[in-house]
Structure 1
């Protein structure tokens, strides 16, 4: 959440009842008392969807109840609100990958070199790592993240850690050059679902505007 006097910016999280809040990526999108409320009329007027980065002036709520309210939407994804036109991720045309993601970064680690040889990954592809507990899945994801950051600076790296130990979250944030979001195993399942949904929606909104996004999720 960035602010400038009475102007705030954040990523929109929608409630099924039609309103929303601007969440702060720096706080793992966790609800905070100062998160601005976004009214249903504003959402309908601009066709806002979950995961959009937007901002505008805020005011205190009537009778000082709750946090601030977004008065109007001034910008969406870096564009003036009146110029922003969203594209529907689900209506985009899926095609077979034709550009390879290179994971080898040198003599070490060997894991990413083996992946390049046996299970090459292309841009736009989905993959799933299936393995028993304590066989190195998290370390493998760490190696993949480091390789993508080193070899593909044109890609925006987002890593989502769900139900992991807090120590593992700290290790990822120290070693991965990218956006690391987490709901560790000391949080409840409601928080796990909420952060997973908003991170996935954020990645979709970035892809809709033409950015290349690489998402790693540990674990389902």
Structure 2
């Protein structure tokens, strides 16, 4: 590759890359010496190219979901570690947060630098993209609470293969629309998790434009591994051996991430397993009010899970958030 070609590749920004076709992006990735691009989605290809571009210039490329702390600065948490604070988190300064109007839940990617002497964390140098859009587009978005909610008007088709009868039955009896709230209510050990797995695979197969998040709260570690291996979307978990605070933190950052994506007119589906265990986690954390409902649940403990479930909606301005949750009975 000649000198002028190299300069042209290095000068590409996110918007220019988004205008390219997948075949053009694959060719560009090969020019940058990036391997393993076959089978990647367009979005993943773009970020591999941006990463390769940054490395060619001697810089590092990082991505994560922002958590803004009360002091005004924030950190980019990694979905790989289920948004747990870790030593490889990326520091985001208060000035960057104000400049780009960043909020908790924003997926931020850009050039980063290693920690200097006396520093503990990597730091964000240049913001390349916010929620997979250019920073200029993200700055003009409307806050989630100010968007206009509507009834679902676009269907999510679940049927894939002729032998997948459960999805065919769901399509016929309980069709799901973009922006739907749904509960799968059943006793334990009746196949709710398998049904969620089938829904997840149907969504990724039939609707590649939908951003899928599977949120597992209070599940067994082996179930998490099984879900990660059988589902193509993002799987976020807090297993049963973790404290209630962790269950709540994971659920809240996932909901914030989904809200930020909807603000950018994306369609998001969250599959939550289970809302019962999430409610129990909130129940363990809320102060006692003296009003106890059946099952030993504090009356106040239901407020937050209700708010999370109620976040699902179809948006008039574009985008939608769909939440399908499992609820346990007879436990």
Q: Separation in 1 of the partners of 2:111 and 2:266?
A: 27
TM-superposed deviation, 1:80: 4.9
Identify if the C-alpha distance between structure 1 residues 34 and 122 changes in structure 2 by more than 3 Å, giving closer, same or farther: same
Q: Which has the larger displacement, 178-187 or 157-166?
A: 178-187
Asked if 1:21 is matched to 2:99, the reply is no
Asked if 1:36 is matched to 2:72, the reply is no
Q: Separation in 2 of the partners of 1:151 and 1:74?
A: 30
Q: Separation in 1 of the partners of 2:113 and 2:166?
A: 52
Q: Which residue of 2 aligns with 1:202?
A: 257
Check the 8 A contact 2:158/2:167 in 1, yes or no. Answer: yes
Asked if 1:158 is matched to 2:217, the reply is no
Q: Separation in 2 of the partners of 1:177 and 1:9?
A: 19
Q: Separation in 1 of the partners of 2:159 and 2:135?
A: 42
Cα-Cα RMSD = 2.4
Name the count of aligned residue pairs: 220
Identify if the C-alpha distance between structure 1 residues 167 and 98 changes in structure 2 by more than 3 Å, giving closer, same or farther: same
TM-score by length of 2: 0.60
TM-superposed deviation, 1:65: 4.2
TM-superposed deviation, 1:106: 3.0
Check the 8 A contact 2:66/2:108 in 1, yes or no. Answer: yes
Q: Separation in 1 of the partners of 2:89 and 2:185?
A: 38
The partner residue of 1:8 within 29, 47, 62 is 62
Q: Separation in 1 of the partners of 2:134 and 2:208?
A: 27
Check the 8 A contact 2:238/2:246 in 1, yes or no. Answer: yes
Check the 8 A contact 2:113/2:125 in 1, yes or no. Answer: yes
Unaligned runs of 5+ in 1: none
Q: Mark the structure with the bigger radius of gyration.
A: 2
Q: Separation in 2 of the partners of 1:208 and 1:115?
A: 29
Asked if 1:119 is matched to 2:174, the reply is yes
Unaligned runs of 5+ in 2: 1-46, 276-331
Q: Which has the larger displacement, 59-68 or 162-171?
A: 59-68
